[in-house]
Structure 1
């Protein structure tokens, strides 16, 4: 389950701003997508005599468990040079990373206390937090962050600096394109990738409505009987859906990402239909295909057959469990043959056979980099 984590970051030793930026980068790489970053403020040391701090606050979306987030933050602190001592007193530090809120959770463990028990007393926490979450309610005090800031008795004076921390997600720029299609074999992960991209990059998500097709379970039971009605129903549905979704302008989204391209109809039908049926089908397809907008980039997620079968078993759709390796191999070959001769749009083939971008954030960021690099080099 995705949660929003509100993280306070601070530094008062060495290259303070660089330490904050390094921390932001590591949080993005190891914990999740950063939605908001506050201004950076100078603030006096709180509770002890030392150099001024730089402080900021982040809002991070993550699928990690709360204690895993905390352990990861401690690892990032250690990586950036902080050595925590057994002392309970205040001290200068290269980097300080604290969890303030995790949605509206209340957590009390040996490792983690959420909400942070001292946050309401510290202006260096509340001021940056108010930049990014003024209307968030403290789950214990039942007060808004902006209200906590107004009533805070800490009289420290904070000043914003002119420099802003950069959000690492900006290295992946898709918003200057209109339409990205994510394609792949059965079980390749195209829906998972499309969904994650839509959430992280404010994209309109278009998902294939395969679950509503009454012919699909029947096809896996008797392919020769139900292949033609299955492919015809898919073609009609894909044509209608993609035409409707691409024609509906969404002013609040930056681009469209879909987990299929309508051309898959021709690829699958070439495998499933008899020759005379396929010729008729292909004629109908090209009549309809001329009217459909083409993607700016067509991404094909290649996975070997063994990994495809593992994914199919894992997601547990009963009617897919008997899919033969030979059928998956034919689909892969059909896609690769089609893409080899494609001139209507840009194509990026990404081999993800040794990647798990659903459960491994580093793999997800690698895939984003592969897609982003295709745009920057074309």
Structure 2
């Protein structure tokens, strides 16, 4: 395999990104990169009043994700050690475009492009989708206090936003394959056959990238 694998698992809130990333990391013995969520001091306020707390929330996420990607680039990818992450930093644009006011978003966009201009790009993106009903069920099961006030309309918008963002990303980066899995049809946490199916698809994608 000529390219050091860097897999990013993406999808809306509650779809199972971290669970799948862990399973993939365990299977291939890749380094697991998990995004910082619980440590964001603004997140509980954000779900109570999105308009008031969106800029603080998005800037915290951007700065921390930038630092994480900088670290894995230096410590792992540059030393040919494969990585699987439970996010892609472009998710910042999905969320910020939806939540920030126009002038805030313009400033945010400038900062985003400065920070990410030389960041490593994934060699493969795994895109998880699910219906609103499934997402709400999984969010409830994991029981994070700061997510109990999440707005259903906001979550439904994110489902749409992710679909559009993935289509655009495929156009902008045609050399980065995207594998899409339906979380309503696959339960890779409780069903080993579903996880095996996903792993086989990842095997094929990684093999083709190494040819």
Larger Rg, first or second structure (1 or 2):
1
Corresponding position: 1:270 with 2:97: yes
1:215–1:226 Cα contact (<8 Å) kept: yes
Quote how far apart the aligned CAs of 1:272 are: 1.1
**SS across alignment from 1:211:** coil
Q: Which sections of structure 2, spanning at least 5 residues, go unmatched?
A: none
TM-score, normalised via structure 1 length: 0.51
**Any conservation in 2 of the 1:175–1:255 contact (CA below 8 Å)?**
no
- What is the match of residue 53 of structure 2? 226
> 2:135 aligned with 1:308, yes or no?
yes
Aligned residue number for residue 118 of structure 2: 291
Unaligned 5+ segments in structure 1 are 1-173
Shift of 1:252: 9.5
CA–CA distance in 2 between the matches of 1:254 and 1:262?
20
Whole-angstrom distance in 2 between the partners of 1:308 and 1:175? 37
CA RMSD of aligned residues (A): 2.1
Report the equivalent of 1:282.
109
Residue 147 (structure 2) aligns with: 320
Secondary structure in 2 matching 1:341: helix
- What is the count of residue pairs matched by the alignment? 205
| Residue 265 (structure 1) shift | 0.7
> CA-to-partner distance for each residue in 1:148-186, whole Å, 9 max, x for gaps?
xxxxxxxxxxxxxxxxxxxxxxxxxx8964200011111
Q: 1:176 to 1:218 in 2, by over 3 A?
A: same
Q: In structure 2, how many angstroms separate the alpha carbons of the residues matched to 1:224 and 1:179?
A: 34
Secondary structure of the equivalent of 2:14? coil
State the alpha-carbon separation in 2 of the partners of residues 335 and 294 from structure 1: 18
Bigger proportion of residues as strand: 1
**TM-score normalised to the size of structure 2?**
0.89
Select the residue among 239, 262, 265 that pairs with 2:66.
Answer: 239
If asked which structure has higher relative contact order (CA below 8 Å, sep 6+), I would say: 2
**Pair 1:206-2:28 in alignment:** no
